[in-house]
Amino acid sequence: MSIQELATVILAAGKGTRMKSDCPKVLHPLVGKPLAAYPVRLAQELGCSPTVMVVGHQVERVQQQFADEDIVFVHQEQQLGTGHAFQISHQVLKDFSGTVLLLCGDVPLLRCQTIDEMLQAHASAGAAVSVLTANMEDPRGYGRIVRSGAEIEHIVEEKDASAEEKKITEINTGIYALEVPLAFELLGQLSNDNAQGEYYLTDIIALARTQGYKVVASTLDDVSEAMGINDRVQLAQAAAIMRERINYAHMVAGVTLIDPATTYIDDSVKIGVDTVIYPGAHLRGNTTIGSNCVVETGVVIDSCSIGNDSYIKAGSALEEADLGEHSTIGPMAHLRPGTVLCGNNKIGNFVETKKAVIGERSQASHLTYIGDAELGRDVNLGCGTITCNYDGVNKHKTVIEDGVFVGSDTQFIAPVTIGRNSLIGAGSTITKDVPADALALSRSEQKVIAGWCKRKK
């Protein structure tokens, strides 16, 4: 792409009335990211500078969401229409000369290549304005492209369209390439004499054409890219399309998805070959899963790193945990932030871990809580081991060195350190440090009263 100067304006000021929500439309999440993050990423991929976002409804919330991005915000105080919204961006672009790519905050499925092709057609035609169009089976709700012969003549909004015009299936995607400053000059001539009393950006097509400027309508191939999100039905439909793309890419790259339609993977997730993902798994955020792993049904993994050959059994929840190779987790285990498994570990059913570093080959197979702890290698925690890490005010640490064997139903009252190769008898409450190679035991001796039950009856 050899366009010299390319800026982007993203329209995101509308309330999104049809969402019926307190949350601005462009912040509604689609597969783990707010709607408007998609055009923002597109602008980044295309190397646009500057990226201008027109905000209006709940400005603070929208700006805060994108505070870390290289975006210039402009405030459209009253939402007087898409033409007015673009006009507002003049504040930032008054010294800019070149092509402006106009994107909508509510059109998330566009591919970079599609826009690239439109920009190339725009440049090679020497167009003043180009619009991206699509042929839709059901064009309801969209502006229609009225052509005269092969050339675009104007765009008519559904609410202003005649019965004849409503039959047109070629629609306006709301995406344009505009030569600036010319486009701003044309915008000055917009009127709001239409069904909605708004300044329509769509009218720029007829304005440019009647004044002798070149106008191009590029039609995209994959209609699904054109989808605009106006209500929650379309939000769910777009999410399904986005997931289909993500899941397709994983399968082609060597990951088995037993049922891709019910597998929920954010596009930031990386998965190695020969890993098998069962239905109903949710893989979110900055998660990396190695090769040859299994993730069973109902598992939620958020921002974790999982080593090769690991097996995550049904119903487990993992968050900000780092798992070495050959980890076996669950079913129904809960790995919370700060969990680090060094490799060949087993964390079994109903085990919860938090801020816990667990050495190689160490295991906790049943009903256990490990929090604020450091375990060495080859440690075996019996069923029902609990680190009592919190005294109601502060958190304290439990250290269990290499080779320790902990009998079932043991509590460690932190801070406490258990020396290497020692053994803790079942049912103990450990309040003091235990030296290496020792046996520690804290339980009252068993009493047996012969014949007691018989006498009771």
**Binder among 31, 74, 171, 257 for ligand UD1 (CB under 6 A):** 171
Task: Give the whole-angstrom CA distance, residue 9 versus residue 226.
Answer: 17
Using DSSP's 3-state secondary structure scheme, residue 108 falls into coil
| Sequence-separated (6 or more) residues with CB below 8 Å from residue 43 | 8, 10, 51, 101, 103
Catalytic site includes residue 57: no
Task: Return the one option of Ca ion, ligand UD1, none that residue 269 interacts with (CB less than 5 to 8 A, by type).
Answer: none
SS3 265: strand
**Is position 224 an interface residue for ligand UD1 (rule: CB under 6 A)?**
no
Q: Which one of residues 43, 122, 157, 255 is an interface residue with ligand UD1 (CB under 6 A)?
A: 157
Task: List the x/- string, 101-130, binding to ligand UD1 by CB under 6 A.
Answer: ---xxxx-----------------------
Q: Of the candidates 228, 343, 384, 403, which one interacts with Ca ion according to CB under 5 A?
A: 228
Burial 33-65 (b: 16+ CB within 10 A, else e): bbbbbbbbebbbebebebbbbbbbbbeeebeeb
The DSSP symbol for 185 reads H
Tokens of 125: 């035609």
Nearer to ligand UD1, 231 or 320 (CB): 231
Q: Nearest distance from residue 82's CB to Ca ion, in Å?
A: 9
Q: Which is nearer to Ca ion, 89 or 287 (CB)?
A: 89
Residue with smaller CB distance to ligand UD1, 161 or 440? 161
- Identify which of residues 230 and 288 has a Cβ nearer to Ca ion in the complex: 230
Q: At its nearest, how many Å lie between ligand UD1 and the CB of residue 141?
A: 7
- The enclosing H or E element of 381 equals strand 380-381
Task: Give dist(CA 156, CA 154) in Å, integer.
Answer: 7
Task: Name the catalytic one among 57, 90, 326, 366.
Answer: 366
Binding piece for Ca ion, criterion CB under 5 A, among 79-87, 103-111, 129-137, 427-435: 103-111
Of 38, 28, 10, 104, whose CA–CA distance to 245 is shortest? Answer: 38
Torsion, CA 107, CA 110, CA 115, CA 117, rounded to 10 = -140
Residue with tokens 């400005």: 59
Q: Which residue is nearest to Ca ion (CB)?
A: 228
361 binding ligand UD1? (CB under 6 A): no
Residue in the shown chain whose Cβ atom is closest to ligand UD1: 143
Please work out the total of residues on this chain that contact ligand UD1, with binding judged by CB under 6 A: 29
Q: Please give the torsion angle defined by the CA atoms of residues 53, 227, 178 and 146, in that order, rounded to the nearest 10 degrees.
A: -140
Q: Residue 455 belongs to what H/E stretch? A: helix 452-456
Among 174, 330, 371, 382, which residue interacts with ligand UD1 (rule: CB under 6 A)? Answer: 174
For ligand UD1, the closer of residues 165 and 372 by Cβ is 165
Helix 112-125 crosses helix 37-45 at what angle (to 10 degrees)? 60
x/- contact string, 69-88, with ligand UD1 (CB under 6 A)?
Answer: -------x--xxxx-xx---
State in angstroms the smallest separation of the CB of 136 from ligand UD1. Answer: 10
- Output Rg (C-alpha) for the chain, integer angstroms: 31
CA distance 313 to 301: 12
| Whether the Cβ atoms of residue 320 and residue 337 lie closer than 8 Å to each other | yes
Residues that bind ligand UD1 (CB under 6 A): 11-14, 54, 76, 79-82, 84-85, 104-107, 142-143, 155, 157, 171-174, 200-202, 228, 230
Residues tagged active-site: 366
